[in-house]
Copies of this chain bind each other. A is one copy, B any other.
Amino acid sequence: MTARLSERDELGATMQRLGRDARAAAAELALAASDTKNAALKAAAAAIRKSAAKILEVNARDVAEATAAGTTSAFLDRLALDAKRVESIARSVEEVAALPDPVGQVDKAWTQPNGLRFERVRVPLGVIGIIFESRPNVTADAGALCLKSGNAAILRAGSESFHSASAIAACLVEGLSAAGLPEASIQLVPTTDRAAVGAMLTMPDIIDVIVPRGGKSLIARVQAESRVPVIAHLDGLCHTYVDGAADLAMARQVSLNAKMRRTGVCGATETLLIDRCCAATHLTPILDDLIAAGCEIRGCAETRALDPRAKLATEADWSTEYLDAILAVRIVGGVEEAIDHIRRYGSQHTDAIVTEDKATAERFLSRIDSAIVLWNASTQFADGGEFGFGAEIGISTGKLHARGPVGAEHLTSWKYVVRGDGQTRP
């Protein structure tokens, strides 16, 4: 496997071959029994555990190269694996195996007055292209979800995670092989040549949907260039709003977790909004926890006046996804101003309110049109696993097809099966 192909036409030929093999695999996968797909997933999880040392070894190489290239700490946090994370990757694959098979599920059934019996039956999408950057676990999560949902996957890893992704992909192929499923069901593009992305985006006859996972520049490129439908997974500019009727202890623990549990994930809160009518009592204790955990605070003028530990925020801070231990803090005049702020600066990903007032909470939940809205819970729950989807291929902020965490069920379409007794239409 070479990391860079010598010739453009060699790349074209490689992509065509990958595509042909993927379509053939997809036709087989669409009719594969649940037991067979689950056997492949379990064998893949076993292979990941068995290969943990190898995976960590090549991951260390990826991390060393990324560090030498001077990438950010948030980036390294997403890239770096340890024994616990490898185990968690294997467990995620097993969790996908344990999920119900969406393919063949009848999610609606009804009979019309003329006696026609209708069923809406779930079918795979076909071939899914996943383009990702730094997180090596995407290889396993995306591959497992595509397989579970009867889809062939073409995975394109960024150069930063290429060795880690290759080692994990080899384990998935080992699982497919053990279960007698086509090895081309999950393929990793065998090059880090950026032109491979362009090739994937212009193969609408081969690839049914593209799922980009990465930074804004990747998403923007995919959305601008793709001739294949895209399920877009943007990072999140998430908000937590502490209402005047919030319980202080709850507001402290939720705010701290929402920002600091992991700062590099898309569900991390980037801006904290605090109701003016509780700022005098709630602001300083909340900032105490955050600052003690190592968080830098950038506050509006009113925040600074109340707590001079905050640096002064600029207009740009309200639109910045730090993905780091930095938090923008703004004091607002109640839930309506919080809603206005989020509508203006938010990314329709995940936003939370902390309050004991049910009416205020319901107003927030109905007026904020984000994929995920939470009441009295941390924005860090924005994760398919936490939703009970087993694993996610990403979090969609678009409104078409699937919104929020995209799990196995969301990688299917449906067909209508209609059974009659010779009905003709008047």
B369 with A418: CB separation less than 8 A? no
Task: Report yes or no: B401 in contact with A400, Cβ–Cβ below 8 A.
Answer: yes
The answer to whether B386 and A425 touch across the interface, beta carbons within 8 angstroms, is yes
Binds B, one of A5-13, A164-172, A246-254: A246-254
Question: Which one of B110, B123, B247, B424 lies within 8 Å of A257 (CB-CB)?
Answer: B424
How far, in angstroms, from A236 to B125 measured CA to CA in the complex?
Answer: 20
A370 to B126, CA, bound (A): 13
Report how far A386 CA is from B115 CA in the complex, Å: 11
- Chain B residues with Cβ under 8 A from A403's Cβ? 413-415
Contact across chains for A378 and B424 when beta carbons are under 8 A apart: yes
Residues of B within 8 A of A125 (CB): 399-400
A195 at the interface (CB under 8 A from B): no
A247, A372, A398, A399 interface centre (most CB from chain B within 10 Å): A399
Which residues of B lie under 8 Å from residue A247 when comparing CB positions? 422
Cβ-defined contact, A373 with B425, below 8 A: no
Minimum Cβ distance to chain B for residue A329 (Å): 19
A184 within 8 A of B: no
Tell me if A55 is interfacial: C-beta within 8 Å of chain B.
Answer: no
CA distance A74 to B336 in the complex (A): 55
B401, A416: Cβ atoms closer than 8 Å: no
Q: Which of A250, A413, A425 has the most CB of B within 10 A?
A: A425
Tally of A interface residues using CB under 8 Å: 65
A380 interfacial by beta-carbon distance below 8 Å: yes
Chain copies in the assembled complex: 2
From B208, B374, B424, give the contact of A254 (CB < 8 A). B424
Which A residues from 324 to 340 make CB contacts under 8 A with B? Answer: none
List residues of chain B with CB within 8 A of the CB of A254.
422-424
CA–CA, A151 and B229, complex, Å:
22
CA distance A301 to B213 in the complex (A): 54
Q: Is the CB of B418 within 8 A of A116?
A: no
A420 contacts across to B, CB distance below 8 A: 374-377
Could you tell me which residues of chain A, from 378 to 423, have a CB within 8 Å of some CB in chain B?
A: 378, 380-381, 383, 386-388, 398-401, 403-405, 413-423
16 A–B contacts, CB within 8 A, in A order: A110-B388, A116-B377, A118-B387, A125-B399, A126-B399, A254-B424, A361-B419, A372-B416, A373-B416, A373-B418, A374-B419, A378-B425, A381-B418, A383-B425, A400-B413, A405-B416
